[in-house]
Structure 1
Amino acid sequence: MTTNNRIALSSDHAAIELRQAVAAHVASLGWEVVDIGPTSPESTHYPKHGAAAAQLVASGDCRLGIVLCGTGQGIMMAANKVKGIRCGVCSETFSAKMIRQHNNANMLSIGARVVGEGLALEIAEAFVSTEFEGGRHATRVDMINALEN
């Protein structure tokens, strides 16, 4: 696992503006943002964007990742297909904190058609500001990781 402060961000066409707002916010918190787009509003396929961000996290190039689509669900599913990724979709801050603290999630997914910008920024901040607690949770995360093998 990497200890760098790089974070990958990606989205589909439905979440470009929200992704850019989230990117600016996490950058203001001291993260080096690797925003891999897209930048044009033409319809695009969320699986390729979720997988691309997940590969940056799984490779260790980025410590964490945030992906966005209309609901957050599809791009989260795509990200979770990459070995080593634990991505959760969150619509409020409590879950964003818990997926880091208890599940050692390395990616967050947000639905641009589900939450507004203010809440999305709070969710992203809760995610990047929380560390994994370890302890009894490490055993459970190990069990999740074993399912990939």
Structure 2
Amino acid sequence: MKISIGNDHAGPQYKHAIVAALQAQGHDVINHGTDTEASVDYPDFGHPVAVDVASGNADFGIVICGSGNGINMTVNKHQDIRAALCWNKEIAVLARQHNNANIISIPARFTAIPQAVEMVEAFLGTHFEGGRHQQRVDKIACR
């Protein structure tokens, strides 16, 4: 799988751990995130991830900021993006099963690194259930 990842200054350590885990599993990773804790603007790192996923250049995306909210709002501005703010593995699984989420948003200041890696693995390993959920997902986009 090809995964696009972006993060602001709250997430470099998270990104490094997640990328290492993904590469160990054989995934290709496109890195749009900052590698330092110097203050940056999360939209600058979220938009490229959304573009990768919406264009098909990446299968899924991962975005990380302090609360997870700002970067999540940013990527959800893009058509065909369904980003889910997740703070535990169960929410990550449900985001895929019920909402067909294609980007996971991680709140770095409210999760531990091992927890974030676990959420990403659960997110990527879960399939959309379709069925009754498909009609709901179809109603999300404003076209």
> Could you state the TM-score of these two structures normalised by the residue count of structure 2?
0.96
The residue type paired with residue 92 of structure 1 is N
Q: Deviations over 1:49-100 (max 9, x none)?
A: 1111111000000010000001111100001001110001111000100101
Structure 1 runs of 4+ off > 4 angstroms? none
Separation of aligned partners in 2, 1:135 and 1:32: 30
Match of 2:91 among 83, 91, 95: 95
The residue type paired with residue 29 of structure 1 is Q
Alignment RMSD, CA only? Answer: 1.0
- Tell me if 1:26 matches 2:22: yes
Match of 1:125 among 121, 124, 129: 121
Identical amino acids, percent of aligned pairs: 42
Deviation at 1:30, TM superposition (A): 2.8
- Tell me if 1:82 matches 2:78: yes
Q: Which position in structure 2 is the counterpart of 1:57?
A: 53
The residue type paired with residue 35 of structure 2 is T
Separation of aligned partners in 2, 1:54 and 1:20: 20
Q: Secondary structure at the match of 1:14?
A: coil
Q: Secondary structure at the match of 1:13?
A: coil
- Tell me if 1:46 matches 2:42: yes
Q: Which runs of 5+ in 2 are unaligned?
A: none
Q: Which runs of 5+ in 1 are unaligned?
A: none
Separation of aligned partners in 2, 1:138 and 1:81: 21
Deviation at 1:44, TM superposition (A): 0.6
Separation of aligned partners in 2, 1:128 and 1:103: 13
Separation of aligned partners in 1, 2:33 and 2:11: 10
Deviates more, 1:72-81 or 1:37-46: 37-46
Deviation at 1:32, TM superposition (A): 1.1
> Could you state the TM-score of these two structures normalised by the residue count of structure 1?
0.92
Q: Secondary structure at the match of 2:5?
A: strand
- Tell me if 1:136 matches 2:132: yes
Paired residues in the alignment total: 143
Deviation at 1:47, TM superposition (A): 1.3
- Tell me if 1:7 matches 2:3: yes
Separation of aligned partners in 1, 2:89 and 2:36: 29
Separation of aligned partners in 1, 2:91 and 2:24: 22
Q: Deviations over 1:30-51 (max 9, x none)?
A: 3211112212332110012111
